[in-house]
Amino acid sequence: MTHIFPRHSKLNAPVAVGGEGIYLIDSTGKRYLDGSGGAAVSCLGHGDAEITAAIKAQLDQLAFAHTGFFTSEPAEKLADLLIDHAPGDLDRVYFVSGGSEATEAAIKLARQYFVEKGEPQRGRIIARKQSYHGNTIGALSAGGNAWRRAQFAPLLLDVSHIEPCYAYRLKRDDESLEDYGQRAAQALEDEILALGPDTVMAFMAEPVVGATAGALTPAPGYFKRIREICDQYGVLLILDEVMCGMGRTGHLFACEADGVAPDILCIAKGLGAGYQPIGAMLCTSEIYDTIANGSGFFQHGHTYIGHPVAAAAGHAVVSAILDRGLIGKVREQGAKLHDKLTDRFGQHPHVGDIRGRGLFRGIELVADRETKDPFDPARGVAAKIKKAAFEAGLVCYPMSGTIDGQRGDHILLAPPFIITDDQLDELTDKLDQAISAVI
């Protein structure tokens, strides 16, 4: 019996003992193609000697120094590297240990900014339905996944959830994608006006929605309009790139593709690439200076922020993404993956939509292609495909999102950036095998 609290009490998980490139190996020697990089984490694959060497060197030099007393070289270097490449006016970095910590910190930073700015009435967050921002109380409050929120509802903050930008389901036949993008963004202005503009502090969204919607990309112009609305009403734009950031979509920061920059940006997962737990929150100097010139410090913090070993790993990972030309690879292999998925599943009676950017791809499964009706949640289609794929030696990330209160099934693919053409074929074959076994 395991004494570890497993994710699921009925999960009889194999023991992972090794990793080589895009494969994971269990204690029986079985190999699994890591088609989702865990949960869009392992962007460099497993066993990357350069990253482990950077971690070992840092451990030999200095394992830990508390940020209440010290800064450290790796944290400073990583912050410089991120800011050198960050969009817009983002020029300050706050390190954390993961995605939920980044979004939670972003919520608190937004609030403290307005308090120190003399607008303490601004305390409302607007986010979107069918989104996920993490599992701590603030982050879970911002997330719009009904199923994840349900049993914790009495503990959650009062966050407004507007409709997501979800062309496959919400675009009308008589409107263009661009027009739909404008209409979807209008929901933000409507909600700001309904709440009272001077009460709203931030709008939080994922540029490309991951876990709850299977690589759902925004309509062209959507985020530009969102940015304009935020500016018009003095509302901060927080972009959550925990899953879609760090090169995953073919840009180091996903929002670059939409031509917008947020006031606060959250990253994690691919930043440590699984080699170390690390996340970060980037913000503008307008926000930083308001606090620095006010009370002087952000009233937040965790013991392990800016951990030198995690920062050394993050620096090695981001350097590898940039220096090895991996962003170009993501675009190239991502386009091939999209074509392979379209060839294989484009006419499948239960595949409604194939979407995504770069090596962040999603398939939406439906009971009926014509009506787009989702499967009955009781069938547990996503979970069964995950199981069948795993048995066939493929790790993919099937998730149930929420569509108008009903659960819908998606498969998310986010393989390591080093995936080859043959491995893309292996991924597609195994996925086909798993889907055919279930629906």
CA end-to-end distance (rounded Å), the chain: 34
From 189, 206, 263, 364, residue interacting with ligand PMP (rule: CB under 6 A): 206
Residues in the chain: 439
DSSP states of 62-73: -S---TTT---H
Query: What 8-state DSSP symbol labels residue 373?
Result: P
The CB-nearest residue to ligand PMP is 99
132 versus 345: smaller Cβ distance to ligand PMP: 132
62 token code pair: 């200095």
Q: Is 99 in the site for ligand PMP (CB under 6 A)?
A: yes
Nearest distance from C-beta of residue 244 to ligand PMP, angstroms: 7
With contacts defined by CB under 6 A, how many residues of the chain interact with ligand PMP?
15
Nearest distance from C-beta of residue 339 to ligand PMP, angstroms: 26
Q: Any bridge partners for residue 96, and if so which?
A: 279
Nearest distance from C-beta of residue 370 to ligand PMP, angstroms: 31
Residues 235-254 that bind ligand PMP (CB under 6 A): 240, 242-243
Pattern of binders to ligand PMP over 27-66, x per CB under 6 A?
------------x---------------------------
Q: Is 133 in the site for ligand PMP (CB under 6 A)?
A: yes
- Three-state SS sequence of 196-263: CHHHEEEEEECCCECCCCCCECCCCCHHHHHHHHHHHHCCEEEEECCCCCCCCCCCCCHHHHHCCCCC
Q: How far apart are CA 165 and CA 185, in angstroms?
A: 8
From 35, 87, 134, 181, residue interacting with ligand PMP (rule: CB under 6 A): 134
Residues 358-417 that bind ligand PMP (CB under 6 A): none
Sheet-wide strand order for 16-20: 16-20, 23-26, 31-34, 394-395
Q: Is 210 in the site for ligand PMP (CB under 6 A)?
A: yes
Q: Is 103 in the site for ligand PMP (CB under 6 A)?
A: yes
From 42, 58, 67, 100, residue interacting with ligand PMP (rule: CB under 6 A): 100
98 versus 352: smaller Cβ distance to ligand PMP: 98
Cβ 233 vs Cβ 197: under 8 Å: yes
One-letter amino acid at 4 equals I
- Residues making contact with ligand PMP (CB under 6 A): 39, 98-100, 103, 132-134, 206, 210-211, 240, 242-243, 268
